[in-house]
């Protein structure tokens, strides 16, 4: 329920506050193919790393060609299939943020998947300016048929209730700034 509620909040917010323009082109890069016509895994991994630098979780600016159209996207709150829905949700979430920072800490290649360990923080654009901060990792499962990502599974190293508390907690200095108003 919380996941679908946040998705609806993001959609509503996108009408009030359109997403910020993002400098990099929206996900239409030519990825290399191997001899058998399958998308080269190294080119997909490099595209994912570039997407992480562009904070694709909150901009929606990801290399679409690196994913299958019916890719499954999952996190601790739920899962769904569909690349376009994922892109829309990421873009809409970004419209709720005043600032964000995402950093890839480590990349691992493990048989049928790659694992990107990341650190994320943001200041939400709510009146009380809550600060969210978390570490986690995303598993990118590669299809044997296409070579593209067929499952994208996020793991957050913070309990859901701790994230909720972060959202509800005003940022430091919030009350001092408002006392003089």
Residues 6+ apart with CB under 8 A from 69: 82, 83, 84
pLDDT more than 70, % of the chain:
77
Nearest to 127 by CA among 177, 58, 90, 164: 177
Question: Per CATH, which fold does 38-168 belong to?
Answer: Nuclear Transport Factor 2; Chain: A, (3.10.450)
Model confidence over 15-67: pLDDT tens digits? Answer: 555 555 444 444 445 687 777 778 899 999 999 999 999 999 888 999 999 99
**How many Cβ atoms are within 10 Å of 138's Cβ, its own excluded?**
23
Locate the domains of the chain by residue range: 38-168
| Helix-strand-coil split of the chain, %, nearest 5 | 35, 35, 30
CA distance 86 to 95: 14
pLDDT of the residue at 27? 45
Instruction: Name residue 141's beta-bridge partners.
Output: 113, 151
pTM for this model (two decimals): 0.81
Running DSSP on this structure, what letter comes out for residue 66? G
Q: Rounded to the nearest 5 degrees, what angle is found at the Cα of 39, between the Cα atoms of 106 and 91?
A: 60
> Count of alpha carbons within 13 Å of 164, Cβ hemisphere only?
7
């Amino acid at each position: 329920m919380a996941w679908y509620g946040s998705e609806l909040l993001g959609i509503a917010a996108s009408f009030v506050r359109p997403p910020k323009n993002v400098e990099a082109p929206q996900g239409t890069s030519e990825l290399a193919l191997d001899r058998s016509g399958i998308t080269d895994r190294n080119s997909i991994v490099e595209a994912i790393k570039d997407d992480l630098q562009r904070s694709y979780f909150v901009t929606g600016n990801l290399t679409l060609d690196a994913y299958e159209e019916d890719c499954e996207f999952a996190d601790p709150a739920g899962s769904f299939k569909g690349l376009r829905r994922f892109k829309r949700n990421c873009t809409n979430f970004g419209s709720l943020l005043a600032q964000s920072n995402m950093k890839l800490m480590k990349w691992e290649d493990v048989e049928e998947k790659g694992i990107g360990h990341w650190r994320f923080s943001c200041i939400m654009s709510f009146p009380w300016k809550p600060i969210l901060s978390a570490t986690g990792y995303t598993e990118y499962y590669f299809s044997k048929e296409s070579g593209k990502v067929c499952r994208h599974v996020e793991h957050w190293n913070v309990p859901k209730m701790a994230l909720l508390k972060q959202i509800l907690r005003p940022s430091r200095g919030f009350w001092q700034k408002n006392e003089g108003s």
